[in-house]
Amino acid sequence: MKILRKIDYYGQLILGSMMLLSVPVLLFYGFLAGLFILGCWQLLSAVLNTKAFIYTGHSKQVWSYWSFCIADLGLLFLSWHFEKTFRADIVQVFYWIAMSGAVIIAIYYLKIYKDLIQFFSLRDELDGLTKSKH
């Protein structure tokens, strides 16, 4: 399972790097498309790993992640919902705040996911050490 988590983590890291590298060529279209894919990927990853986060004592971090995601998706939905009610420049402010928040949330998830992987690596190392003493 640790190998799958590492593949998942490094895949997300590579996609994030590709997003940044696409900015000079595709401007923000490639970045936003990559952010959408990365966001969906991270939501799926978080759903599958929430139990592991809670089990390993990272429950505060994962619940913070879920709270940030819900708030950010709510802000994105409100900016889409009020598109016809308010002026376009006001709606764009909320939209770009939500997009900036999504980037910060993606970086936060990568950090806590790396901590989870390091926890499992350390636990496996300690298990191997205690087994070798007997």
Q: What is the mean pLDDT of residues 96-118?
A: 95
For the chain, the domains span: 2-119
pTM of the model: 0.88
Query: Token pair 């990272």 is at which residue?
Result: 58
**Tokens standing for 33?**
């498309």
Long-range pairs of 44-49 with CB within 8 A, sequence gap ≥ 24: 45/8, 45/12, 45/109, 45/113, 46/109, 49/5, 49/113, 49/116
Please, what is the average pLDDT of the chain? 90
State the average pLDDT over residues 60-64. 96
pLDDT for the residue 91: 86
Per-residue pLDDT for 24 more than 60? Answer: yes
Average pLDDT for 24-38: 89
CA 50 to chain centroid, in Å, comes to 12
